[in-house]
Copies of this chain bind each other. A is one copy, B any other.
Amino acid sequence: MKIKDIGEQGLLKKIQSFCPHDIIGDDAAVLSPDSQKQLVVTTDVLVDGVHFSDVTTPPHSVGWRAIAANLSDLAAMGASPLAVTVGLALDGELSVDWVEQMYQGMSSILAEHNTAIVGGDICRSSVTTVSITALGQVSPKHIIRRSTAQPGELIVVTGDHGMSRGGLELLLNPSLGTNLPQQQRDIFLSAHQYPQPRLDLLRYLWEIMETTVITGMDSSDGLGDAVLQICASSGVGAQIQLSSLSSVSMISQWFSAEQALNWVLYGGEDFELVLCLREKRKNWL
């Protein structure tokens, strides 16, 4: 069954089952943010053939990644999620099943973070485009910015970098990495198709911020880009010790040293956090 067979109204009905019942049916959604907190807002647009494709990204993963990218931006600001809206431009030839699976992907990751789709828009287009806006909230003292880094601070990254790019490579070239154990292969694929925004770390970061400033951003455009952006915003320089990043040797082992360096620094879409911390602690996180 294609979208054009059931039309916009038919599709809307199916999609509304993914939204909270009490939010549907007005010109806009009404939310009640915490009155003590500031509002955080971020938008990401994903285009078929540019950010995802049938080869690399099943529809469930398209939905997951679209939400993950936005929740990661909230995490990078120190904010917890409040709600998202979904703007869709869809090819009428697309199957209704594709759209429902994408919404299931969005719902899965949103459920993990107690967040809901509160609004959106659907229209037709020859190119499927997904535009997500995420709203979050944060106490003023817990906002993480890019511009507050100072010389002498330690750069700390959460999780591994380059893994999403490795997963993409495996999906684009199935003949590659045939020597990889299935478990290792799944780690790469999962990093690409089901990245985890680091909202799980917020309570630790907030605790640290009770006594000191944290500077940072997410690594959606790569670890190298994140360090450069923070340096540019803060007016500082940085030194990256690649040997301290475990994914460098992991990727070198299954691919090559050159790919390891390239993917870890410039691969992007790992959605980890790159943080600058004022003082060294024994166990940071």
Within 8 A of B (CB), among A46-85: 46-47, 49-51, 72-74, 76-77, 79, 83, 85
Residue ID in chain B nearest A273 by CB atoms: B27
- Assess whether B41 is in contact with A218, with CB atoms less than 8 Å apart: no
With a cutoff of 8 Å between Cβ atoms, the chain B residues found around residue A233 in the complex are: 25
Contact indicator A42/B30 (Cβ below 8 Å): no
Q: Are B89 and A47 touching (Cβ within 8 A)?
A: yes
A75, closest chain B residue (CB): B27
* A2 on the B face (CB < 8 A): no
Interface pair B28/A79, CB less than 8 Å apart? yes
**Chain A interface residues toward B at CB < 8 A:** 25-33, 35-36, 38-47, 49-51, 72-74, 76-77, 79, 83, 85-89, 118-127, 129, 131, 133-136, 138, 143, 145-147, 217-218, 233
Residues of B within 8 A of A76 (CB): 26-28
A45 contacts B79, C-beta separation under 8 Å: no
A89 and B129 contacting across the interface, CB-CB below 8 Å: yes
Shortest Cβ gap from A261 to chain B (Å): 23
A39 and B43 form a contact (CB under 8 A)? no
The answer to whether A30 and B121 touch across the interface, beta carbons within 8 angstroms, is no
Task: Check A133–B87 contact: CB distance below 8 A.
Answer: yes
Chain B residue numbers with a CB within 8 Å of A134 are: 28
**Does B39 lie within 8 Å of A123, measured CB to CB?**
no
Contact partner of A123 (CB less than 8 A), chosen from B51, B74, B121, is B51
- Whether B119 contacts A125 by the Cβ 8 Å rule is no
A28–B145 CB distance below 8 A = no
- Most chain B CB atoms below 10 A, which of A30, A40, A73, A88: A30
A88, B87: Cα distance in complex, Å:
11
Contact: B87 with A30, CB < 8 Å? no
Q: How many angstroms between the C-alpha atoms of A127 and B90 in the bound complex?
A: 11
Say whether A30 contacts B119, CB under 8 Å: no
Q: Is the CB of B218 within 8 A of A27?
A: yes
Q: Add 13 more A-B contacts to A45-B87, A87-B131 (CB < 8 A).
A: A26-B217, A28-B41, A28-B73, A31-B41, A41-B85, A43-B85, A43-B87, A43-B120, A45-B129, A47-B125, A51-B123, A125-B129, A131-B131
Per the bound structure, the CA–CA distance linking A46 and B125 in Å amounts to 9
Contact B25 A42 (CB under 8 A): no
The 28 listed contacts between A and B (C-beta, < 8 Å) are: A25-B146, A25-B147, A26-B147, A27-B74, A27-B217, A28-B42, A28-B74, A28-B77, A28-B79, A28-B136, A29-B42, A30-B143, A31-B41, A33-B39, A35-B35, A43-B86, A43-B121, A44-B87, A45-B87, A45-B122, A45-B123, A46-B123, A47-B89, A47-B124, A50-B125, A51-B123, A89-B131, A127-B127
